[in-house]
A and B are shown apart, each in its own frame.
Chain A
């Protein structure tokens, strides 16, 4: 891991693709055998597919788990006693949720990666911070939902954190105005989930005449699914925040509870960036062969962080496009991509659903 440590010390966007591919070949081989040795269910999958690490000649060749497997099975690569936190995805009622098991080491690595990635966009000084959510979400510290984990993780990036919403998801107007008055003229950080920001922050503020947060830098993530069904595009989201709240610096991020920490941040050019901690590969669904640049496919995400659970290489159900390698005008090295959406839920044929829910 010596080369990796070296690479990490140079900043999260300072390694070019050729160099990184070489580093990842070793790192992924190590991670894959670590999980194979320590997680029996993972080993069964690899054995069943006759995985042989000698046949992995490059980054593209390593095995990947379907993201749904974390909803179907509890996968850990450490003793139960080592687990300090279990994170879950925030599924709606009735859906099964992913369970991700963290030990001290992986949890610390996630925090470190998150800080380093975001500080490349925010500067290394901690900013006064508004969390656009309710502090109620953090109540159960042992079982973190993706939402709680996101809030907790990102809160470390700021100082004097204030929560913009109360337990009923209404705006804490008084607290918000005091906060803005106190920090007027200084940069402030806002963090929240895309849909929450739109529904519970932007909309009520727009209805009551707006608010001036022009010193704000907003980081948001969690996916566009709900906003898409409300027909709100990414452009509309940005322009609405600019016009109503004066926020011009808006960064979306792509991440998931299965790979907390090594998030993909969107730069000013509107591209999502792989950092030194992570990478993406897009694959064709008919044979899982890698897509060409510019060709849409299923997104596989790689992360160097997961050691307590086998989540270093995951095939997601998102569709994306790789937009470039080491060539983003923003100057950051590494691959860039865009997310197009989720795989469409087509209905299967079959004969066992006569009395479907109407």
Chain B
């Protein structure tokens, strides 16, 4: 294989697939060390949020929650293919792989990102310390332009492959074989929504409203509303109080004034809006808050999954009962963020209606909070194998 196009940002060859138990002490203290080093990167909030995830207390909590009822071992070598437009995602994927007890090779974004450089520098620094000698040789971060041969090279040796990205990426990479025993986790295109309770919004004081707007901003504008967990539909729970909507959107608009809307994005968004107005005769009206917030009020939920906003384009629908959503939910639905709605009611909505979608029910502000649980997978469990041990009963 020609390796001219392959750059190792960490490591220098195919990692040794030697597994350890999940949450091994060395893995936990490695992430703790990473947290210490990266917490200083104040100029990169996403790197800091990763450092926050890796801090010792959080890893210890995850380890406790993971429990020790089963004996487990990493599957071997995990090969991660991560998205190019969310630079910190590769670091999370690597961390989950390390926690699972796997050796890891991670394909980082092709584009140069300062976040990628900062994380890789810290990882290299830690691997050179004597206490992580066993870890060295089991971690690699690579960068290459799309290249089926290189992807085939790592895929052919892996025991688990993790594909982040949309349907097209998954489909294209799936054409490249992995060994028969290898498992695969794919993160395909998803659809997400936000449920807001009218009454609760009306009851909010100014500080609370500001916090909610800030949280909502972080779920949406921070990633151009383009992450699979960013909401497209805002479902208003209540009897139809326009004051609640105006109160909420006014605050979001205020918060989003800082959003760096590019001219090309303004055109994308306006074109998208006109496209929806032509395609959907059930639009009741559009509200504009400058070009920052576009709200499309719908009279029905028909084919709602095809209504996707970007750069701050939201679809709104209101009803007194969340049950109205049930017939429209498909496997594609991922994150339901909520404010003011009763959590148990939402959980019952998913389980009692036998919905095939909605994997996450999280408060507004947590849409992008990635963890070892994602898209309905427990990533650490999926990347490790169970060692089944039985004890002989009544025999010597």
List the interface of chain A (C-beta within 8 A of B): 41, 44-45, 47-50, 65-66, 68-69, 72-73, 285-288, 298, 315, 317, 319, 343-358
Contacts and interface: CB of A to CB of B under 8 A. Distances in A.
B206 interface: no
B165 A286 contact: no
B281 interface: yes
A66 B270 contact: yes
Contacts of A45: 274, 277-278
B43 interface: no
B26 interface: no
Interface in B136-187: 144-147, 163-169, 172-173, 187
Determine the interface band of chain B, counting residues with CB < 8 A from chain A. Answer: 35 or more
5 contacts: A72-B275, A286-B291, A343-B263, A351-B83, A354-B84
Nearest to B80: A354
Contacts of B83: 350-354
B119 to A, nearest CB: 17
A47 B189 CA distance: 32
B278 A41 contact: yes
A298 B267 contact: yes
Contact of B266 (A50, A285, A349, A356): A285
Contact of A346 (B110, B165, B262): B262
A199 B292 CA distance: 42
B147 A358 contact: yes
Given A352-B83, A352-B169, A346 B164 contact: no
Contact of B146 (A317, A352, A355): A355
A287 to B, nearest CB: 4
Secondary structure type dominating chain A contacts = loop
A351 B164 contact: yes
Contacts of A358: 110, 144-147
Interface in B165-223: 165-169, 172-173, 187, 189, 223
Interface stretch (B31-39, B282-290, B320-328, B386-394): B282-290
B277 A355 contact: no
Given A353-B166, A356-B84, 15 more contacts: A45-B274, A48-B286, A50-B285, A66-B274, A68-B267, A68-B271, A72-B271, A286-B292, A288-B266, A298-B263, A345-B264, A350-B86, A351-B228, A354-B169, A358-B145
A258 to B, nearest CB: 13
A342 to B, nearest CB: 8
A60 to B, nearest CB: 16
A358 B275 CA distance: 30
Given A48-B285, A288-B291, A352-B228, A317 B189 contact: no
A44 B223 contact: no
Contacts of A286: 261, 266, 290-292
B382 interface: no
A355 B173 contact: yes
A91 to B, nearest CB: 15
A286 B294 CA distance: 12
A59 to B, nearest CB: 19
Shortest 4 CB-CB distances between A and B: which pairs? Answer: A352-B166, A354-B165, A358-B145, A350-B226
A352 B171 CA distance: 12
A317 B172 contact: no
Contacts of B227: 349-351
A343 B123 CA distance: 39
Contacts of B41: none
A358 B172 CA distance: 14
B278 A350 contact: no
A66 B267 contact: yes
A44 B165 contact: no
B265 interface: yes
B277 A44 contact: yes
B277 A49 contact: yes
